[in-house]
């Protein structure tokens, strides 16, 4: 999902993020979400980002 909450107000963005998280667990499926919003990224179990053209784990520098 590319910025699934980008055009939503904070309340609805949180609701969508919670629904996506619940659906992922319920159906045991991976959801890939692209976002620039750090608060939305916090809903993820794993966070990757692109820096200098390379995919990195959030904990890497």
pLDDT per position as a tens digit, 1-59: 788 888 999 999 999 999 999 999 999 999 998 888 888 888 888 999 888 999 999 77
Asked if 38 and 47 count as a contact pair (C-beta separation under 8 A), the reply is no
Q: Indicate the pTM of the whole model.
A: 0.71
Strands 54-57, 48-51: pairing is: antiparallel
């Amino acid at each position: 999902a590319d910025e699934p909450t980008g055009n939503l107000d904070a309340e609805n963005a949180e609701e969508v993020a919670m629904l996506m998280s619940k659906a992922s667990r319920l159906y045991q499926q991976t959801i890939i979400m692209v976002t620039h919003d750090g608060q939305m990224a916090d809903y993820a179990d794993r966070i990757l980002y692109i820096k200098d053209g390379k995919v990195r784990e959030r904990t890497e520098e």
